Amino acid sequence: MKRSRSQNLITEMILLLRVSLHPFVVDGCKWCLTAYPKGYNFIGYLSLYLEVADNGSLPFGWRRHARYTLTLAKSVSHIFERHPEIASEIHPKNSSLRTGYMSLLLSLIETLSQSPQELSKDDLCDVYIAIGCMKNAGFKLDWLENKLYEVAQKKEDDEAGEPRLREMEEKLKDLKLKCSKMEALVEEEKAKVSAAKAHLSFDDVV
């Protein structure tokens, strides 16, 4: 089936908006990261792909399973700006280990950035254990641990406050009903008092 000119144009525009980073070699294979700032097929957000740099030279049916993690350098640099002492005593020679630590740290921050209602107690427990492991490795994460306690307290307040709030709402509902009945009685009494004060007409007497 022939491609329409509009389809070809879209493909050309996608290729023009594609940014490929310098190739790098891992395990004897040359790779490159390809970024689409506007998203692949213009989905509206950044798309990143790990691609084989020299795929044209590979034999038919070639495949390789790869597991990888992408880390946002800007987010990491922001963390070090706010907490420069975080890894002052950490000097891992293994770059994969360093990347793993940074990925874990970003994951912990992302988890604690969620609302307390979205987090389970198991989630908070996992964060506590992970922070402990990183602290044992030499990272200074008192600030993150304090944030964990803050989130845990908010969750506790939320869980304790929900039943109290429902109870107060029920009491308020009862009070409003009683007030409504009382207002009806007041209006009825006003009508009686008004009638008692009224002068009798000639026809009323006769």
Assess whether 112 and 20 both reside in one domain. no
Q: According to the model, what pLDDT value does residue 100 have? A: 73
Assess whether 142 and 47 both reside in one domain. no
Q: Are 174 and 180 spatial neighbours (Cβ–Cβ below 8 Å)? A: no
Assess whether 103 and 195 both reside in one domain. yes
Burial class for 34, CB neighbours closer than 10 Å (0-12, 13-18, 19+): middle
- If one compares 59 and 45, the residue with the highest pLDDT of the two is 59
Q: Is residue 191 part of a domain?
A: yes
- Strand 24-26 to 47-52 pairing: unpaired
CA distance 63 to 57: 13
Assess whether 115 and 190 both reside in one domain. yes
Average pLDDT over the chain, rounded to an integer: 76
Q: Is residue 66 part of a domain?
A: no
Is the pLDDT assigned to residue 20 strictly greater than 60?
no
Assess whether 25 and 83 both reside in one domain. no
Is the pLDDT assigned to residue 2 strictly greater than 50?
no
Residues 109-119: tens digit of each pLDDT: 888 888 888 88
CA distance 206 to 198: 16
Assess whether 24 and 95 both reside in one domain. no
- Strand 24-26 to 19-20 pairing: unpaired
Highest mean pLDDT among 33-37, 46-50, 70-74, 112-116: 112-116
Q: Are 52 and 30 spatial neighbours (Cβ–Cβ below 8 Å)? A: yes
Assess whether 88 and 183 both reside in one domain. yes
Assess whether 180 and 143 both reside in one domain. yes
Give rounded-to-5 percent helix, strand, coil for the chain. 60, 10, 30
CA distance 34 to 17: 10
Q: Is residue 63 part of a domain?
A: no
Parent domain of 43: 5-57
Q: Is residue 64 part of a domain?
A: no
pTM of the model as a whole:
0.47
Assess whether 145 and 86 both reside in one domain. yes
Q: Is residue 105 part of a domain?
A: yes
- 82 phi, psi to nearest 5 deg: -75, -35
Counting the structural domains of the chain, the total is 2
| CB count in 10 Å sphere of residue 40 | 15
Q: Is residue 168 part of a domain?
A: yes
Residues 84-95: tens digit of each pLDDT: 888 777 666 666
